[in-house]
A = this chain, B = another copy of it.
Amino acid sequence: MDRVDELARAFERFPGIGPRQAKRFVYHLLASNSGDRTRLADLISSIGASVKQCAECRRFWSGTNDLCNYCSDTGRSDAQLMLVERDQDLLAMERTGSYRGRYFVLGGVLTLSGKGAIRERELVERVERRSNTGLEEIILALSATSEGEHTSEHIRSLLQPLRGHMRLFELGRGLATGSELEYADKETLSAAFTNRKET
């Protein structure tokens, strides 16, 4: 196999990238100057060493401590633990400024066909360890998709024996910004009514 194809094949494994765009990436790199290519290669090969995984929430971050800034922030509450699928979801939630508890990054979802994997062992270990030190509420902040629901279901069974007095929550359903009633599905509309808010 030729080098162009080999590199294109590697880019095809990137999320959301098909064969055509993968090829376009290769030609983009070929047309770049060799300094830019070397720099990109260096960043890629060193990213593993320069970015650590936080020992508590398992997210990737660039600090030098064992715990990331959110996990070591004493201003945040240990009473709440939010489980998210991916690092990006954690960052999206942080951007809202509404949540001041702790996080755990699952690292993916479980598909209905039995594929996918999440950090089960680390999750259980984290919850066990924290259950005696103030953890009151676990928020399953997964996507409102069938895979997200399937994964939530699995996590609920997993945590059942550890629950004790902890409460489990899911994110609220309702109208997303920009949506019109007429096009909303039953479940969303029903939740929007149930979650109605005094004004």
Complex Cα distance, B2 from A62, in Å, reads: 6
Taking the closest CB of chain B, its distance from the CB of A154, in whole angstroms, is 13
How often does this chain occur in the complex, in copies?
Answer: 4
Residues of B within 8 A of A192 (CB): 141, 171-174
Which residue of the partner chain B has the closest CB to A145? B178
What 10 A-B pairs come out closest when comparing CB atoms?
A: A172-B195, A174-B174, A41-B45, A172-B174, A2-B62, A96-B190, A171-B192, A41-B41, A89-B181, A144-B175
Taking the closest CB of chain B, its distance from the CB of A137, in whole angstroms, is 9
Question: What is the interface of chain A, defined by CB distance below 8 A to chain B?
Answer: 2-4, 6-7, 10, 13-16, 20-21, 23-31, 34, 37-48, 50-51, 53, 60-62, 84-89, 92-93, 95-99, 107, 139-145, 148, 152, 156, 167-182, 184-199
> A87's contact among B13, B27, B50, by CB below 8 Å, is which?
B27
> A179's contact among B20, B42, B143, by CB below 8 Å, is which?
B143
Complex Cα distance, B99 from A143, in Å, reads: 26
Residues of B within 8 A of A143 (CB): 175, 179-181
Which residue of the partner chain B has the closest CB to A146? B178
Residues of B within 8 A of A4 (CB): 47, 51, 60-62
User: Do residues B28 and A15 form an inter-chain contact, with CB atoms below 8 A?
Assistant: yes
Complex Cα distance, B48 from A16, in Å, reads: 25
A-B contact sample (14 more), CB < 8 A, given A173-B197, A177-B187: A4-B51, A16-B21, A41-B41, A41-B42, A85-B181, A89-B182, A92-B181, A98-B193, A144-B176, A169-B197, A171-B175, A177-B188, A195-B195, A195-B197
User: Do residues A29 and B7 form an inter-chain contact, with CB atoms below 8 A?
Assistant: no
User: Do residues B89 and A193 form an inter-chain contact, with CB atoms below 8 A?
Assistant: no
User: Do residues B24 and A48 form an inter-chain contact, with CB atoms below 8 A?
Assistant: no
Taking the closest CB of chain B, its distance from the CB of A146, in whole angstroms, is 9
Residues of B within 8 A of A140 (CB): 199
Given contacts A172-B195, A199-B156, contact A28 B14 (CB under 8 A): yes
